[in-house]
């Protein structure tokens, strides 16, 4: 397993970049605009992590700006921790057997979400290419929220 990023929701790109980059000193390494999903992702790295972050896409902070206004209450602005795993299906199976609910199963062979005992959302991403769709995951419904 490898740590990838922490996602934080933001309400204003300019103000957030002023804080995270201008004041805190992080540097933008990648930006994704998604018209259909109506969001912008901005990935930031600490200056000493920038070469590694560019090569490995980690460790990063992901700022998520949703184009449609939303009021983020206490804790809602924090999104999730993300880890890359060698085998998404084996990891989810091991977690499920240990009593962890798979809130968003890896139906696509690429991504799953679980929650910590304290409700922290954790994204699991398949290393490399997505695995072929596979049962029981392909037809497994979501459980709760993530």
Number of neighbours of residue 84 by Cβ within 10 angstroms = 19
Stretch 93-111: mean pLDDT: 95
Q: Does position 67 have pLDDT exceeding 80, yes or no? A: yes
Does the residue 90 lie in any domain?
A: yes
Choose the weakest-confidence range: 4-8, 55-59, 70-74, 120-124: 70-74
Stretch 111-137: mean pLDDT: 91
Does the residue 127 lie in any domain?
A: yes
- List, in order, residues 6 or more apart from 142 with CB less than 8 Å away: 103, 104, 105
Does the residue 52 lie in any domain?
A: yes
CATH assignment of the domain containing 108: 3.30.720
Q: Does position 111 have pLDDT exceeding 90, yes or no? A: yes
* Whether residue 56 is found in the same domain as residue 102: no
Residues 4, 41 contacting (CB under 8 angstroms): no
Q: 104: which DSSP letter?
A: B
| Domain range enclosing 98 | 86-139
Which sign, positive or negative, has the C-alpha torsion 15, 80, 124, 57?
positive
* Whether residue 62 is found in the same domain as residue 6: yes
Q: Does position 73 have pLDDT exceeding 80, yes or no? A: no
Stretch 18-36: mean pLDDT: 92
Q: pLDDT (tens digit, 9 = 90+) per residue, 120-129?
A: 789 999 999 9
| Edge-to-edge strands, sheet with 78-85 | 27-34, 39-45, 60-66, 2-10, 78-85, 121-126, 111-115
CATH assignment of the domain containing 12: 3.10.180.10
Distance between CA atoms of 138 and 140, rounded to whole angstroms?
6
Does the residue 19 lie in any domain?
A: yes
* Whether residue 91 is found in the same domain as residue 61: no
Integer CA distances (angstroms), 46 to 21, 24, 101, in order? 9, 9, 33
Using DSSP's 3-state secondary structure scheme, residue 95 falls into helix
Q: Among the options 56, 84, 123, 135, which is catalytic?
A: 123
Reported as a pLDDT band with limits 50, 70 and 90, residue 133 is: very high
Residue 135 bears catalytic tag: no
Residues 126, 85 contacting (CB under 8 angstroms): yes
Q: 49: which DSSP letter?
A: G
pLDDT above 90: percentage of residues in the chain: 72
pLDDT at 70: 82
Q: Does position 6 have pLDDT exceeding 90, yes or no? A: yes
Distance between CA atoms of 19 and 143, rounded to whole angstroms?
36
* Whether residue 11 is found in the same domain as residue 51: yes
Reported as a pLDDT band with limits 50, 70 and 90, residue 140 is: very high
Number of domains into which the chain is organized? 2
* Whether residue 62 is found in the same domain as residue 91: no
* Whether residue 10 is found in the same domain as residue 62: yes
């Amino acid at each position: 397993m490898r740590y990838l990023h922490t996602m934080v929701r933001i309400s204003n790109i300019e103000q957030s970049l002023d804080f995270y980059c201008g004041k805190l000193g992080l540097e933008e390494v990648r930006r994704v605009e998604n018209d259909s999903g109506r969001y912008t992702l901005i990935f930031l790295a600490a200056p000493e992590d920038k070469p590694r972050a560019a090569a490995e896409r980690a460790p990063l902070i992901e700022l998520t700006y949703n184009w449609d206004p939303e009021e983020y209450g206490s804790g809602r602005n924090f999104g999730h921790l993300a880890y890359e795993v060698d085998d998404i299906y084996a990891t989810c199976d091991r977690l499920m057997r240990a009593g962890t609910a798979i809130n968003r199963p890896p139906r696509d062979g690429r991504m799953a979400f679980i929650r910590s005992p304290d409700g922290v959302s954790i994204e699991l991403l398949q290393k490399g290419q997505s695995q072929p769709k596979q049962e029981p995951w392909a037809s497994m419904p979501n459980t709760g929220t993530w």
